[in-house]
């Protein structure tokens, strides 16, 4: 499994894309360049899959190319 992957918002299901834009709005409301949302102790059909974090951060356009 890759450590990081850049996914264009256009390929996401509509509810997921809307949620992504809402997360960006949360970053702006917090007046921050990065917001990390902790998702501890997740399960899938009762089986533990671990803890995750969603990181939303502001980057410049060159940051997209260098992160790919």
Residue ranges of domains in the chain: 9-67
Q: What is the pLDDT of residues 6-55, one digit of tens each?
A: 889 999 999 999 999 999 999 999 899 899 999 999 999 999 999 999 99
Residues contacting residue 4 through CB under 8 Å, at least 6 positions apart:
67
Q: pTM above the 0.95 mark?
A: no
Residue in the block written with tokens 């997921």: 16
Both structure tokens of 9: 């918002």
3-state secondary structure the chain: CCCCCCCCHHHCCHHHHHHHHHHHHHHHHCCCCEEEEEEEEEEECCEEEEEEEEEEECCCHHHHHHHC
């Amino acid at each position: 499994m890759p450590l990081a992957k850049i996914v264009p918002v256009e390929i996401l299901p509509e509810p997921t894309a809307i949620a992504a834009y809402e997360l960006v709005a949360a970053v702006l409301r917090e007046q921050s360049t990065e917001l990390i949302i902790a998702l501890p102790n997740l399960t899938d059909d009762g089986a533990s899959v671990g803890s995750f974090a969603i990181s939303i951060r502001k980057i410049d356009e060159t940051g997209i190319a260098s992160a790919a």
